[in-house]
């Protein structure tokens, strides 16, 4: 999920600081009260509203999958996620879950609809 834009964060925080009630700001800007409180705290403590970086190590398998998958999908369009995972294991020697394979296929905007 992508973080909210810094512009929206600034508008919400500015509105609350200018006297808009928090409940009204939640309704107006369609953000949760907890999110708004977190932004207000971040503004108060750091003076900045930039989104924090996504925690954790960078994805290593995904880049390789995104590079290799288009040719595989063109060749084996009707293969199941399990079949794609088995192919990846045989090709690279690395294991990939069906969830990872599904996310990679989705990132390529490939439809999984099968032939009838």
Q: Rounded distance, CA 101 to CA 12, Å?
A: 38
Domain contains 18:
yes
- Residues 38 and 69 placed together within one structural domain of the fold: no
Instruction: Please report which confidence band the pLDDT of residue 82 belongs to, taking 50, 70 and 90 as the band edges.
Output: very high
Q: Which two tokens stand for residue 18?
A: 């200018």
Determine contact, residues 49/6, Cβ cutoff 8 Å. Answer: yes
**Could you tell me how many residues make up the chain?**
116
Would you call 90 helix, strand, or coil by DSSP? Answer: helix
Q: Kindly state the average pLDDT of the residues 54-68.
A: 84
Determine contact, residues 69/52, Cβ cutoff 8 Å. Answer: no
Write the CB contacts of 20 (distance below 8 Å, at least 6 apart in sequence).
Answer: 28
pTM, entire model: 0.54
- Residues 42 and 66 placed together within one structural domain of the fold: no
- Residues 40 and 70 placed together within one structural domain of the fold: no
- Residues 68 and 102 placed together within one structural domain of the fold: yes
Domain contains 33:
yes
Q: Rounded distance, CA 27 to CA 10, Å?
A: 16
* pLDDT value for 47: 92
Domain contains 1:
no
Range of the domain at 68: 61-107
How many independent structural domains does the chain possess? Answer: 2
Domain contains 41:
yes
């Amino acid at each position: 999920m992508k973080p909210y834009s810094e512009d929206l964060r600034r508008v919400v925080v500015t509105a609350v600081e200018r006297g808009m009630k928090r409940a009204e700001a939640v309704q107006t800007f369609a953000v949760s009260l907890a999110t708004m409180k977190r932004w207000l705290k971040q503004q108060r403590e750091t003076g900045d509203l930039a989104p924090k970086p996504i925690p954790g190590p960078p994805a290593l398998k995904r880049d390789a999958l995104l590079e290799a998958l288009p040719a595989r999908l063109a060749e084996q369009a009707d293969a199941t996620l399990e079949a794609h995972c088995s192919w990846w294991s045989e090709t690279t020697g690395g294991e990939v879950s069906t969830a990872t394979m599904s996310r990679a296929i989705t990132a390529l905007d490939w439809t999984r609809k099968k032939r009838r």
